[in-house]
Amino acid sequence: MLYDILKPWLFALDAERVHEEVSGLMALAACVPGASGALSLLTGPSGKGLEKTVFGITFQNPVGLAAGFDKDGRLVPLLPGLGFGFLEIGSVTLEPQPGNPKPRLFRLVEQGAILNRLGFNSAGARAVALRLSSSPRPSVPLGINLGLNKGVPAEGAPKAYAQTFRLLAKYGNYFVINVSSPNTPGLRDLQKATELAAILNAVQDSNAGRKPILVKLSPDLADDDLSACVDVAGKVAQGFVVSNTTMSRKGLPDRYISEAGGLSGLPLKARATELVRKVRSLTKLPIIGVGGIATAADARERLDAGADLVQLYTGFVYGGPGSIKRITRGLAGRR
């Protein structure tokens, strides 16, 4: 209810500024022992009986936070209080980098969407590792999403991803190779079979702890490229995150058509669900479904399409701090 009152005021301000200020407050709260428990009391009960085990990890519920909201892992101690069954931080790049020039984050309120061209603003793998090493172990499984610094050529990508993985390996329960962000020039070309195989092999060579390695796919992949990608990843990886933001501007007003960046939220929903169905028809490996999920019905539809777990970012921004527990309660009520 409080979020409904604050939302018009928050949404009148610049989207990135609000994100930074709210994250800053949350990061302060994250340092207070017991803050996650207090947040949990404020946001009410979670859905019960949703526990499941996927790639050897037990999740209290299948609803997670998608990559990009907590890029540097500042909020890990606090966010479980909102009812998330797991968190995915990142994308983390090997070296720190500022990302693209601002403005680079826009709310499309009428469309229930976000357009972003952040371009992997990241504190870098060493800083994130240091933060995670000095925080208590998270109370829910933690995924770490790995990105690539701008300007690293395709030949350098396997080494860069493997180095980033090694720095963070002991802190994550699973890892995601992000080769699908539209905001780093050339990155999505790494979804091609040869390039992807080289990256996955390099990461797996460093994966002594046998952590699950997932590949995050673009919703804009053509069918043939998708099959080739799933085929390669099926041999060397343990699952997929489906999907990243889209370059499609279908159905958007003219003023957004030439705006650069990746689109998320409701306009992505149908395509992301379709892609989960396609990937499920190609592989038995676990799938995390993400894109346009905002309600329990959306989450159920994605699970029915073949996802084992789901995540959200945009639906969380629009739905507020109570949205995750509304979804888990809705999922539990339908069982």
Q: Among residues 314, 323, 328, 331, which is the contact residue for ligand FMN, using CB under 6 A? A: 314
Q: Which residue has the tokens 């959306």?
A: 298
Nearest-angstrom CA–CA distance, 166 and 126: 10
> According to the binding rule CB under 6 A, does residue 181 interact with ligand FMN?
yes
Q: Among residues 212, 292, 319, 321, which is the contact residue for ligand FMN, using CB under 6 A? A: 292
Nearest-angstrom CA–CA distance, 247 and 242: 15
Residue of 85, 101, 91 whose CA lies nearest to 70: 91
Beta-carbon count within 10 A of 191 CB: 24
Kindly state the smallest distance separating residue 198's Cβ from ligand FMN, in Å.
Answer: 20
Residue of 197, 187, 121 whose CA lies nearest to 154: 187
> According to the binding rule CB under 6 A, does residue 315 interact with ligand FMN?
yes
> According to the binding rule CB under 6 A, does residue 267 interact with ligand FMN?
no
Kindly state the smallest distance separating residue 34's Cβ from ligand FMN, in Å.
Answer: 29
Helix 193-205, helix 223-236: angle, nearest 10: 20
From the candidates 46, 122, 180, 181, give the one annotated as an active-site residue. Answer: 181
> According to the binding rule CB under 6 A, does residue 291 interact with ligand FMN?
yes
Q: What amino acid is encoded at 161 in this protein? A: Y
**Footprint of ligand FMN on residues 58-87 (CB under 6 A)?**
66-68, 71
Does 46 participate in catalysis according to the annotation? no
Answer yes or no: are the C-beta atoms of 301 and 277 closer than 8 Å: no
* Residues in contact with ligand FMN, shown as a per-residue x/- string from 92 to 121 under the rule CB under 6 A: -------------x--------x-x-x---
Answer yes or no: are the C-beta atoms of 278 and 311 closer than 8 Å: no
**Closer CB to ligand FMN, residue 71 or residue 74?**
71
Q: Which residues contact ligand FMN (rule: CB under 6 A)?
A: 66-68, 71, 90-91, 105, 114, 116, 118, 145, 178, 181, 216, 244-245, 264-265, 268, 290-293, 312-315
